[in-house]
Amino acid sequence: MIYGYARCSTNESKQDINRQVRELKQAGAEQVYLEYEHGDAKVKAQLSSLLETATAGDAIITLEVSRLARSTKQLCEIIDRVREKRLRLVIVGSITVDCSNGELDPMTNAFIQMSGVFAELELRIIRSRVRSGMANAKAKGAKIGRPQTTLEDVPALFLRHYPSYRAGQLNVSELARVCDLSRTTTYKYIGLLEQK
């Protein structure tokens, strides 16, 4: 079986993962696992599921080392798992890590680890530039971060269903679902309404 793994750092409304999926299928992926998670996140549920599902002789393909991890330590852990499970890991157009015999040749190991170092370096450079840009904007008087949420920001749909929540007819999860909101946003709006 040939599995594909596609990852974006933010959700589907901010990043389009379809380009990765399309390219993975063109490269031969029969089933593609999708993930919206930061590259250095300690837990990537879909990647973990993929590594659990894959069996000896299967291949996992992805477009870049940074799709797997932006941490050298995490990348090494993934490579160890690939070796233990006797899989093939293909970075499309770059390198194939063939551990189907349970071993990894030293040159391939060194190359994939160096790729991980560069992926981690890229992330650190991006974060450094963002911090610098935010500090520059703040020095110029710009407000940094999300604007403060006020009562005026609470949507009418939420206000319509809030009395049912207060009456115990809806719990927080149900209120969030009927208003098409996350639980975090629902708690934020409840907090605002309970403060007034």
Q: Is the pLDDT of residue 36 over 70?
A: yes
Domain total in the chain:
2
In the structure encoding, which two tokens stand for residue 108, read together? 């391939």
51: in domain? yes
In this structure, are 186 and 99 located in the same domain?
A: no
Domain that holds residue 190: 151-195
In the structure encoding, which two tokens stand for residue 31, read together? 């089933």
pLDDT (0 to 100) of residue 27: 95
Query: Which of the pair, 131 or 41, is modelled with greater confidence?
Result: 131
Per-residue pLDDT band for 39 (boundaries 50, 70, 90) equals confident
Q: How long is the chain?
A: 196
In this structure, are 117 and 155 located in the same domain?
A: no
pLDDT (0 to 100) of residue 86: 96
* CATH number of the domain residue 89 falls in: 3.40.50.1390
In this structure, are 20 and 109 located in the same domain?
A: yes
Per-residue pLDDT band for 13 (boundaries 50, 70, 90) equals low
54: in domain? yes
With tokens 């840009």, the residue in question is 133
In this structure, are 85 and 29 located in the same domain?
A: yes
Answer whether 0.75 is exceeded by the pTM: no
Residue 5 φ then ψ, to 5°: -130, 120
